[in-house]
Structure 1
Amino acid sequence: MIIRKEHALALLSAKSEEEKGLSCQIRLKSEEDPYVELELQNLLEQGSSPVEYRLTYWGRNLVYLLEEMIKDGLIKHPSQWDDRFRWIGSEVIGMIEASIKSGGLTGEEIFPYLKERGFAEEKHEEKKGWYKEINRYGKAVYEIYTKAKPRLIVSKELASFMASMPTGPAETKDLPEHGRFLLLMESMRLISFSVPKSDVYTLSGLGQAVKETVQTLAPSLETVINEDYMYAMLKLLDSGLDALTEQEKELLQELTFIDSDGNLLPAGESLLEVYRLWSERSYRPVKTFNLETLDQEVLIGIQKVWEKNKTNPEVLPTEEEIVHYLMEKPLKEYKHLMGFYGRMINQAMGYQKKEELKKKWAELFTVEQLFKHFYEKGNQWYEKLYDTVKESLYSLESFSLIKTEIEEKTGKTVYRLTDYGKKVIQDVEEKGIRDITATGVKAVTITKTEFGAPNYNWYQEALNQHLIGGGYPTKSGKLYEELAYSIKRIPHLTRFELMVLHRVPEYGMFLDELFKQFDETLKEEVEYALNKLEARGILDVLPNNGLRLTEPGKLIKEAVSGVPEGIANPVNPLIIRILQAIKEVGNLYVKESKVRILPKNWEEAIKLSGIGRETFEKEIAVARIAGYIGKSSIHESGLKLLKAVELLAS
């Protein structure tokens, strides 16, 4: 949806003609007039002849809204607008939607852009103080956007332009000369621009489907995609080739949607996906993925230990062996871990220690010496390093990159790479170890939505992490996009992530407000925690930097509301497996919101969990301290965790 000066004036003119009783006869002067774009947006429709237009129901609503806003002094008359001023565009719809999801609050960053367009205002209440929110006009525009179904007509010239342009994400300034093609595309919702300044573009989910179609069809007609062609394809599928008229058969064959026998060709398959997205507006939700440098080192460590196992069966990838692997490597081989250990030490001991770490790292200490330096008392340094590796193992299992198993001969708990984990190692070998952030991956996954484009910061992160390049997702970008939608997520919270989650309400908080809840030296740590929480499906960071808990996130927050913040990894994949095993062998008591387990069934629960007895006992002790489990039952908080697991899998 796009409304600039020329579109607004055309709509006002149509209403004026309508009031005169002249049947809104607006004659099209050239193919570059805005009326074509307004028709594609379902705001104008053709009258009694192809060169006459009249307002649709939604176009009339938009004009009334504009006139009321002009009357109220919220916006100037369109005649006074700059020619390129975007009153409504995909980025404006994105800002409005993010504000609605934030409980009506706009946040500081996008407020000036919405206020300039008359869609936001500042209010004051005695209890809340001053706050910035979306107004009724912004909500009305969003309703018009969601209800007005656009048309879809792609000419041979537009098809050629789309076939040659990068899908994005890419910087808008790099788009080729285009005349009015971008306006036509935005009218049909084939392209989206980023919040708040439109400096990044991407083809929308529908736009990418159209691009794929025009790259495979034969552009033999002036119009290569329209609604009639799609309806003819549906008729073919429903009733067979004989149901088509001779003209329909000829058109579909000439454009290579079907062959002479009525079989679908690649272009026809793609056109059906275009129809599905256009008619149902059924787009996948935005999911993301996260992987830190230590996670990648631990993955590699597991692979190396299994390789040693081939020649020495006594060497197994237990927690102790993986810690030993990390200590064994010269520190200079993985200086990329400095930031990770810095965050760990900052969380535990403060910013000054983090600065000291930089100096110690330059002396090429071993990891063992490094931890000894900061944790001198007894063997605390080893415990801290062990805890750090254990935390990474939990994280890797929460993203289905590894699987905890019991080694048959020894009964030890070992870690095995999944197929997803092997793919990640292959990517690391090709592109090197680097943080894969949730915002970087989201810059790729958001492009399949109806009007989402990554904001500039997300785009830059994706570039730096080799997830996009040259206007397209890279091989790495496609891999982490695949993982974002394919992996089975299992809840995991570290001690610090629990602290962050405790401070995030259901909605209505923004990043800058969350940062103020912590010491300023912990800003980087908070950002990394948010990356994990978002990648695990617990919360969303919206384009306006608003924070919103997901449905699973709400359940997890409720479940951990009473958990002390000093517990390390109070939610982790092994605890989830234990809860699932107890539920399977126990009895549900609905009135009490509990699952009770008989003493004789504990052995069966241990067996079902797939966890060694020693590990089982350690984890169940944590679960009891956290309040998920009593002496012989799962409490309501534990059941909420299991419900969150079900939602994450759906």
Structure 2
Amino acid sequence: MVIRKEHALALLNAKSEEEKGLSCQITIKSEEEPYKELELQNLLEQGNSPVEYTLTYWGRNLVYLLEEMIQKGLIHHPSEWDERFRWIGSEVIAMIEAAILSGGLTGEETFEALRKRGFAQEIHEEKKGWLKKINNYASSVYEIYRNSKPRIEISRELGHYIASMPTGPAETKMLPEHGRFPLILESMRLISFSVPNSDVYTLSGLGQAVQKVVQTMAPSLETVINEDYMYALLKVLDRGIEFLTPQETELLEELAFIDSEGNILPAGEHLLEVYRLWSERSYRPVKTFNLETIDEELLIGIEKVWEKNKTNPDVIPTAEEIVHYLMEKPLKEYKHLIGFYGRMINQAMGYQKKEELKKKWAELFTIEDLFKHFWEKGNQWYEKLYDTVKESLYSLEAFNLIISEVDEKSGKTVYKLTPYGKKVLKDIKEKGIREIKATGVKAVTITKTEFGAPNYNWYKDAVDEHLIGGGYPTKSGLLYEELAYSVKRLPHLTRFELMVLHKIPEYGMFLDELFGEFDETLKEEIQYAVNKLEARYILDVLPNNALRLTEAGKLIKKALSGVPEGIANPVNPVIVRILQAIKQVGNLYVKEKRIRILPKNWEEAIKLSGLDKEIFEKEIAVARLAGFIGKTSIHESGIEILKAVELLNK
């Protein structure tokens, strides 16, 4: 949906003509295009001739709303608007939806953009003070958007434009110039722009489906896609080619949607997807992915240790052996890890130590030297390095990149790359070690939604991380998009991430407010914690930087509400595997909200978990400390964790 000055004036003109008992006559050729765009938006409909238009139900509602806003002084009359002022557009709908999901709050990022359109104002509420919120007019516009189903009609010329344009995300200034085509695309909801200033564009989920059609069809007619073609193709799918009229058969064959026997061709398959998205408006949720440099370094390390195992079977990738791998390499090869260790030291020891790291990096020679410098007392340095490695191993297993299992020969727990882990390792070898931020991956995944486009900062992250280039997702971008939706996630939270999660309500908080809950020196650490929480599908960060817990996130926060913040990894993949194993051999007591396990079944639970007994008992102790497990049962909080696992992978 897009309403600029010319569209608003056309709607007001249509209402004026309607009140006179006339259809709206287009007499000037230059005025025709905004009327056609409004028809595509289902705000106007054609009368008895191609030059007559009347308001639809939703168009009339929008006009009444606009007139009332003008009367109340919330916005100037359209005759006073700048020619390119976008009163409504995909970015405005995205801002309004984000505010609705945040309890009506706009946040600083989008307040001014919504206010100047008459959709937001500061409101004083008792006990809360002054709040920046959307008004009822914003909610009404959103309702009109949700209910006014657009039309789909693609001419041959527009089809050529769509087929050749970069899918996005890309900076809007890269959008190919071709008259009003971008406005026509937005009228049909085939293109989206970023909040708040339309700096970035992308073809929407529907737009990308349309692009696949026009890239695979035979564009032999003046109109290459419309609703009649879709309905005719559905007849073939549901009832067979014999139920088509001769004209319908000829059209579908000529456009290469079907062959002469009625088999649906690739272009027809894509057109059916267009119909599904257009009619059902069923889009996948926005998920993302995240990798830190230490995670990538350990993937390399696991592969290296397995290579050693080929010549020395006694060398296996246990956590201890992976620590040794890190210590074998000189520090100069870990330049990419300086930020990671800086954040970790800042969390544990304070900002001054983080600054000290930058100086010490040039003086020290090994990871061992580095850890000894900061944690030398009581030989704590090895424990800290081991804990760092274990934390990263948990994270990799939570993202299904590695799996831990018991080595039959040694009886020790070893780590193996999953098929997804091998794909990531291949990408690392091709593109180098670099952080993959949740925001960067989300710049790719959000484009498959109805009107989502990444904000500029997400887009910039994706470009810097080689996930987007030249107006398209790169090979790496497509890989991490695949991982975002394909990997089976397991919950994992570090001590610091739990502290951050405890501060976040279900909705209504913004990123800058979360920063304000901590010392200002921890801003970078908080941002990284938010990255992890979002990549694990516990948290959703909206385009206006609003924070909103997912359904799984709500359960995990509730389950961890009573967990002391001093536990290093209060929930992790190993604990989840233990809970799942106990559930298999235990009995659910619904009224008590517990799963009880008989003493004789503990050995079976250890076997089902795939863990060695030492690790099983160690993690059971952590689970009991966290309150997930008692002596003989899984408590309600443990059951909530298991429910969250189901939601993470739904």
TM superposition score normalised by structure 1: 0.99
- 1:422-433 to structure 2, matched below 5 A, reads 422-433=422-433
- Displacement of 1:26 after TM fit? 4.3
The 8 Å contact of residues 25 and 54 in structure 1, kept in 2 or not, is answered as: no
The 8 Å contact of residues 438 and 534 in structure 2, kept in 1 or not, is answered as: yes
| Aligned residue number for residue 553 of structure 2 | 553
- Displacement of 1:365 after TM fit? 2.1
AA paired with 2:314? E
Equivalent residue of 1:159, what SS?
Answer: helix
- Displacement of 1:177 after TM fit? 1.4
- Displacement of 1:266 after TM fit? 1.5
- Displacement of 1:400 after TM fit? 0.1
- 1:204-353 to structure 2, matched below 5 A, reads 204-353=204-353
Equivalent residue of 2:216, what SS?
Answer: coil
1: CA distance, partners of 2:580 / 2:32: 62
2: CA distance, partners of 1:189 / 1:348: 48
The 8 Å contact of residues 467 and 476 in structure 1, kept in 2 or not, is answered as: yes
Alpha-carbon displacement from aligned partner over 1:22-73 (angstroms, at most 9, x marks no partner): 1344457358520000000000000011110000000000001001101111
2: CA distance, partners of 1:33 / 1:451: 23
AA paired with 1:618? K
Alpha-carbon displacement from aligned partner over 1:249-277 (angstroms, at most 9, x marks no partner): 11111111111121112111111111111
| Aligned residue number for residue 153 of structure 1 | 153
- Displacement of 1:596 after TM fit? 1.1
| Aligned residue number for residue 473 of structure 2 | 473
AA paired with 2:198? S
The 8 Å contact of residues 75 and 117 in structure 2, kept in 1 or not, is answered as: yes
2: CA distance, partners of 1:109 / 1:411: 54
The alignment yields a C-alpha RMSD, in angstroms, of: 0.9
| Aligned residue number for residue 508 of structure 1 | 508
Equivalent residue of 1:237, what SS?
Answer: helix
AA paired with 2:170? A
| Aligned residue number for residue 527 of structure 2 | 527
Alpha-carbon displacement from aligned partner over 1:143-175 (angstroms, at most 9, x marks no partner): 000000000000011011111110000000111
| Aligned residue number for residue 29 of structure 1 | 29
2: CA distance, partners of 1:181 / 1:198: 16
AA paired with 1:173? K
- Displacement of 1:364 after TM fit? 4.2
The 8 Å contact of residues 172 and 201 in structure 2, kept in 1 or not, is answered as: yes
Sequence identity of aligned pairs in percent? Answer: 81
Alpha-carbon displacement from aligned partner over 1:401-460 (angstroms, at most 9, x marks no partner): 000100011110011100000000000000000000000000000000010000000000
| Aligned residue number for residue 144 of structure 2 | 144
The 8 Å contact of residues 28 and 52 in structure 1, kept in 2 or not, is answered as: no
The 8 Å contact of residues 14 and 26 in structure 1, kept in 2 or not, is answered as: no
The 8 Å contact of residues 494 and 570 in structure 2, kept in 1 or not, is answered as: yes
- 1:45-124 to structure 2, matched below 5 A, reads 45-124=45-124
- Residue 572, structure 1, aligned to residue 572, structure 2: yes
AA paired with 1:137? Y
AA paired with 2:157? E
The 8 Å contact of residues 28 and 35 in structure 1, kept in 2 or not, is answered as: no
- Displacement of 1:642 after TM fit? 0.4
TM superposition score normalised by structure 2: 0.99
| Aligned residue number for residue 451 of structure 1 | 451
1: CA distance, partners of 2:362 / 2:68: 65
Gap regions ≥5 residues in structure 2: none
1: CA distance, partners of 2:556 / 2:394: 17
Equivalent residue of 1:450, what SS?
Answer: coil
Equivalent residue of 2:236, what SS?
Answer: helix
- Displacement of 1:191 after TM fit? 0.2
The count of aligned residue pairs is 650
The 8 Å contact of residues 14 and 23 in structure 2, kept in 1 or not, is answered as: no
| Aligned residue number for residue 617 of structure 1 | 617
The 8 Å contact of residues 189 and 204 in structure 1, kept in 2 or not, is answered as: yes
AA paired with 1:494? T
AA paired with 2:455? N
The 8 Å contact of residues 15 and 63 in structure 1, kept in 2 or not, is answered as: yes
The 8 Å contact of residues 106 and 133 in structure 1, kept in 2 or not, is answered as: yes
AA paired with 2:436? I
- Residue 134, structure 1, aligned to residue 139, structure 2: no
- Displacement of 1:338 after TM fit? 0.6
Equivalent residue of 1:146, what SS?
Answer: helix
AA paired with 1:115? R
1: CA distance, partners of 2:117 / 2:333: 53
- Displacement of 1:584 after TM fit? 1.2
AA paired with 2:59? G
The 8 Å contact of residues 364 and 370 in structure 2, kept in 1 or not, is answered as: no
- Displacement of 1:126 after TM fit? 2.4
| Aligned residue number for residue 371 of structure 1 | 371
2: CA distance, partners of 1:337 / 1:188: 46
Alpha-carbon displacement from aligned partner over 1:306-352 (angstroms, at most 9, x marks no partner): 11111111101000000000011011112100110111101000111
- 1:582-621 to structure 2, matched below 5 A, reads 582-621=582-621
| Aligned residue number for residue 627 of structure 1 | 627
Equivalent residue of 1:192, what SS?
Answer: strand
AA paired with 1:463? V
Given the superposition, is the C-alpha separation of residues 400 and 28 from structure 1 closer, same or farther in structure 2, using an over 3 Å criterion?
Answer: farther
The 8 Å contact of residues 28 and 51 in structure 1, kept in 2 or not, is answered as: no
Equivalent residue of 2:29, what SS?
Answer: coil
Equivalent residue of 2:547, what SS?
Answer: strand
